Structure 1
Amino acid sequence: MISEATMEEKRSAWRVLGLALSNRKTGFMLLFGFASGLPFALFLGTLYAWLTEAKVELETMGVFSLIGLAYAFQFLWSPLIDKVDIAGFRRLGRRKQWIVPAQLLIGIILLLLSFSHPSNENIGWFSLLAGIGALASATQDIAINAWRIDVADEEATIDILSTIYQMGYRLAALVGGAFGLIIAARIGWPSTYMVMGAILVAIGIVGLWAPDNDARKGSREGVLDDELLDLRKAGELEPAIRWRALAIVALLWAGAIGGVLTFMFMSLTYAPANRPNPIDFTVNWGPWIIVATVVVPALVAGWLAAQKHGGKHLLAEDAPPSTGAAYVFDHLYRALLLPLIEFVGRLGWSLVLIISLVLTYRICDAIWGTFAYPFYLGELGYTNDEVAFASKFFGVGAIILGLAIGGYMLTVLGRMLTLTIGALLAALTNLLYADLAIGGARMLALSDAIGFTWAIEQLPGGSAKLAKLTLTIGFENLAIGVAGAAFIAWLSSIVSKQYSAVQYALLSSLTLLIGTLGRGALGEMIENQGYYDVFVLTTQIGFIAVFLCLVEWARVARRDRRSGSASLAVQ
């Protein structure tokens, strides 16, 4: 028999889930998730189909790969979202002042694109519009991720908000991707982008009524000056020490931003034969940009935190308010270094574990994703229609179902257990692809046994061959949904609400690093050894993430025990 305590725990979990889903914050989170995913699909996916139909040259299309840089290096301007108010919009709220204008700007750009006709002659104007739209989209993503962390509470928990965000994002990918292609074939590309632009403008207007934890209705200068005065209280680091550290970090950030801008300028102005390759830039310079803007600043922040903890280079008494150049330096210090100092000071050496987990958790699908279509179409011989059905329609549905399961598991099982299970499932699904690589006999047998083959064969163009691919993608995407829900919730839980935009943007950018760097080596391995060995290897790599999850689970448990003991001592 099930004990009464167990039944009460289950009822409590369902009650928590019900309260979270009925909260207005959850509704806006779904809307914002959709608004975040739609531009990404339209600028980095569907737009290429429009350019292809307009007979734009492939070399000219290469300019559009620059758009992806806005998403890859969005952390470079994340300090602005945390510390800068937009004149005329700051009364909307700390995050909404960025979210709403960005959504309106993206919508307007989509509308402008709908009145443009891409061609080899006017591709410069078209590229400029798309580039500005991608920049606004990446900025919106930073602000929305920070909003999710800021507004989370005991009712609309960070776990549920993170899951709902991803559901909205995945729905938008379906609407902007597969659905966009379908309606474009019927009403044309200009009308399709006009509809999508109107949707973004409408979301921006509705977003005016979203809640925000920090309305900042007082004086902008008053709010910021109070924060700057805290830096000059007795017991804080001496300004000279802070400014030396700031000089190092500011030079590194300026160099990184300058490198990205130089690359973009060369790509837009040089002749096609002399343009730098975006993939080479990301692979060769991306790691150094991360080192310059994350690794070295984190070491500097750690040194500053150690100095303060050790009582060195501290103000003996309150210093006068900063003015002139000192005022500017204090602003920059607060924007660039304080988020890292808080992070390092709060987590200490545990930050090494956290970064290791961030780098490895999504490594399986991050590395493998680039080679999915060559595997389906080239190695296995599926058609475009079969792959579209299995990966876009059935696959997206499986991800959304996985997110729903992941959200429920977070509520019932807890964050760390769900995180660990998600890592294990994501690793094991690589073995399903390994089976496909050697013929897929086991997947076909499973499909036959559960009646899935029969169901697929009833569809137009359905076959046993399509059934085993669809089932494999379905299982993988279910695992991705569970793992994604847990990972985003965990990532959101370890950042500070005070510096959520910068800290989350930095961590999320690291999730792309290993995948980007590993693709070249993986491609060479595929050429030399074939897909089967690659899938076995990615499974083994996935087990590293499972091990790190267990270590992180133990760390969180120790922290919670210490917090509980401290609370009892105070009582």
Structure 2
Amino acid sequence: TDYLRFLATFAVVVAVFASIFLLTSGLAGPKGGVEGFLFQAARLVVAVGVAIVAGIVLVRAGVVPRAMAVETYVTPFANFFSRYGRAAILILALISTYRIADIVMGVMANVFYVDLGFEKQEIGWISGGFGLAMTIVGTFLGGLLILRYGILRILFVGGLLAAGTNVLFAFLATQGNVLPLLMAVIAADNLSGGIAAAAFVAYLSSLTSTRFTATQYALFSSIMLLLPKLIAGYSGLIVDAVGYAPFFIGTACLGIPVLAMIVFIARLTLAPQDD
């Protein structure tokens, strides 16, 4: 059937992407610094490009009905750009960077706690148990604040808090093994993370069209992690080069452009055109 062929085509495209990305990992290239980051980004771009070409070839060869492929992959994206116009690029830039400060910092959190001398049991119950509870509280609080003040305002507040709490980690790095301070920092970080997450999910949901909710939300969810995860892969190298405190300050600064984009988008008073 058409749906089975569509599924098979999707599997082939994913396999092509994975194969190209893995094959290029064997290429001799820079391992660290800006050059290393650009090399990894180039690998990703090449793999995505080849996968897209493979998909186009399969569609043109008649493996999948052209109308089905267009309706599934092209129309939802065209709909988003037609609804938001030039602002669509700015919105996508915001989506791709909103969580950059906490993700780039977060991959080093547990290593940081261990290096400060905290026991793994302490880290487990504070970060996993207590921290999770604070995240839930933050998410609930974020939802209430959105109802009261609107999505964009709380999106800004969440971004500010998520980036700002990274400065607390820099302070913790200068104080060493102080358990009450660790609890306070984790509480603040997870509470702000919950608020930011609630606002971000609400914002992504507000961007989707009722006709293409699933596809567009999947696109946004993929974009929001791509750049942060790519940069986070170099967090360890950055810490080795500059130390924990400057690293955390730097990750906090990553949130500044995000806040600027939110302010600019809010001033545009964006109202999507009818579907």
TM-score (norm 1): 0.40
Residues 1:257 and 2:2 are matched in the alignment? no
Deviation at 1:345, TM superposition (A): 1.3
Task: Give the AA of the match of 2:156.
Answer: T
How do residues 37-436 of structure 1 correspond to structure 2 at under 5 angstroms? Answer: 256-260=13-17, 262=19, 285-289=43-47, 328-378=65-115, 380-436=116-172
Which residue of structure 1 aligns with residue 32 of structure 2? none
Which residue of structure 2 aligns with residue 438 of structure 1? 174
Residues 1:538 and 2:251 are matched in the alignment? yes
- From the superposition, tell whether residues 326 and 502 of structure 1 become closer, same or farther in structure 2 (CA, over 3 Å): same
Which residue of structure 2 aligns with residue 559 of structure 1? 271
Deviation at 1:473, TM superposition (A): 0.5
How do residues 486-525 of structure 1 correspond to structure 2 at under 5 angstroms? Answer: 486-525=199-238
Residues 501-524 of structure 1, C-alpha deviations (whole Å, 9 max, x = no match)? 221111111111122221243322
Q: Secondary structure, in 3 states, of the residue corresponding to 1:337?
A: helix
> Do the aligned residues in 2 keep the contact of 1:256 with 1:289 (CA within 8 Å)?
no
- From the superposition, tell whether residues 401 and 541 of structure 1 become closer, same or farther in structure 2 (CA, over 3 Å): same
> Do the aligned residues in 2 keep the contact of 1:424 with 1:542 (CA within 8 Å)?
yes
Task: Give the AA of the match of 2:221.
Answer: S
Task: Give the AA of the match of 2:150.
Answer: G
- From the superposition, tell whether residues 353 and 283 of structure 1 become closer, same or farther in structure 2 (CA, over 3 Å): closer
Deviation at 1:490, TM superposition (A): 0.2
Counterparts of 1:431 and 1:506, CA distance in 2: 31
- From the superposition, tell whether residues 526 and 366 of structure 1 become closer, same or farther in structure 2 (CA, over 3 Å): same
> Do the aligned residues in 2 keep the contact of 1:492 with 1:504 (CA within 8 Å)?
yes
- From the superposition, tell whether residues 383 and 358 of structure 1 become closer, same or farther in structure 2 (CA, over 3 Å): same
**% of aligned pairs identical?**
30
> Do the aligned residues in 2 keep the contact of 1:283 with 1:516 (CA within 8 Å)?
no
Task: Give the count of matched residue pairs.
Answer: 247
Which residue of structure 2 aligns with residue 476 of structure 1? 189
Counterparts of 1:291 and 1:361, CA distance in 2: 25
Counterparts of 1:255 and 1:352, CA distance in 2: 29
> Do the aligned residues in 1 keep the contact of 2:17 with 2:50 (CA within 8 Å)?
no
Deviates more, 1:478-487 or 1:335-344: 335-344
Deviation at 1:389, TM superposition (A): 1.3
Task: Give the AA of the match of 2:267.
Answer: A
Deviation at 1:293, TM superposition (A): 7.2
Counterparts of 1:514 and 1:261, CA distance in 2: 18
Deviation at 1:258, TM superposition (A): 3.0
- From the superposition, tell whether residues 480 and 341 of structure 1 become closer, same or farther in structure 2 (CA, over 3 Å): same
Counterparts of 1:406 and 1:480, CA distance in 2: 10
Residues 65-108 of structure 1, C-alpha deviations (whole Å, 9 max, x = no match)? xxxxxxxxxxxxxxxxxx969xxxxxxxxxxxxxxxxxxxxxxx
> Do the aligned residues in 1 keep the contact of 2:17 with 2:47 (CA within 8 Å)?
no
Deviation at 1:558, TM superposition (A): 4.9
Which residue of structure 2 aligns with residue 172 of structure 1? none
Residues 402-461 of structure 1, C-alpha deviations (whole Å, 9 max, x = no match)? 001100001001111011111111111011001011116xxxxxxxxxxxxxxxxxxxxx
Query: Aligned-pair RMSD on alpha carbons?
Result: 3.2
Q: Where does the alignment leave 5 or more consecutive residues of structure 2 unmatched?
A: 24-36, 54-61
Work out which of the two has the higher radius of gyration on C-alpha atoms and give 1 or 2. Answer: 1
1:529 aligns with one of 229, 238, 242? 242
> Do the aligned residues in 2 keep the contact of 1:421 with 1:483 (CA within 8 Å)?
yes
Deviation at 1:547, TM superposition (A): 0.9
Deviation at 1:292, TM superposition (A): 6.4
> Do the aligned residues in 2 keep the contact of 1:364 with 1:539 (CA within 8 Å)?
yes
Task: Give the AA of the match of 1:495.
Answer: T
Structure with greater contact order relative to length (CA < 8 Å, sep ≥ 6): 2
Q: Secondary structure, in 3 states, of the residue corresponding to 1:330?
A: helix
Counterparts of 1:290 and 1:491, CA distance in 2: 23
Residues 1:549 and 2:262 are matched in the alignment? yes
Task: Give the AA of the match of 1:358.
Answer: I
